[in-house]
Amino acid sequence: MPFESLTAEEQSSLNSWMAMLRGYAGEIARVNNHLEVCNTVYNGTTSAILAELDADDVIPNVSGLDGAEPMTKTEVVNLVAYMQTVLGVNTPAHRQNLAKAAGERNLIGSPWL
């Protein structure tokens, strides 16, 4: 059924939801761009530094983020694994779909612009 065949109420509801989805697409693309940079630095220098620590060694919080806490090496490595899992699905096809949804110029820091 074509979009135009939907009732005005259905069109309005779908359009409102699509606005939310498109906003999400822009946000997730920006987050993925930040993750790519974080992962590049991790692979370049940080992983070797972390390898020097024992699993239970604590890394202090110097981020300035309110409420952020010190983390053990194990907690950091688990977070990195999550980050790399997310990046594993950040394929060119996914990035193209996010750009289509949000508009390329809304993907701040986009490495593919």
The DSSP output letter for 106 is: G
pLDDT confidence band for 113 (50 / 70 / 90): very low
Q: Specify if 56 maps to a domain.
A: yes
| Burial zone of 84 (CB within 10 Å; 0-12 exposed, 13-18 middle, 19+ buried) | middle
pLDDT, average across residues 90-103: 92
Q: Specify if 4 maps to a domain.
A: no
Q: Specify if 8 maps to a domain.
A: no
pLDDT for 8-51, tens place per residue?
999 999 999 999 999 999 999 999 988 999 999 999 999 999 99
* Structural domain harbouring 63: 30-113
Q: Specify if 77 maps to a domain.
A: yes
Q: Specify if 18 maps to a domain.
A: no
Cβ atoms of 57 and 105 within 8 Å: the answer is no
Q: Is the pLDDT of residue 111 over 60?
A: no
Q: Is the pLDDT of residue 105 over 90?
A: no
Q: Is the pLDDT of residue 106 over 90?
A: no
Q: Specify if 2 maps to a domain.
A: no
Number of domains in the chain: 1
pLDDT of residue 104: 84
pLDDT, average across residues 49-74: 97
Cβ atoms of 25 and 90 within 8 Å: the answer is no
pLDDT of residue 107: 79
pLDDT of residue 110: 54
Q: Specify if 37 maps to a domain.
A: yes
Question: What share of the chain in percent tops pLDDT 90?
Answer: 86
Q: Specify if 14 maps to a domain.
A: no
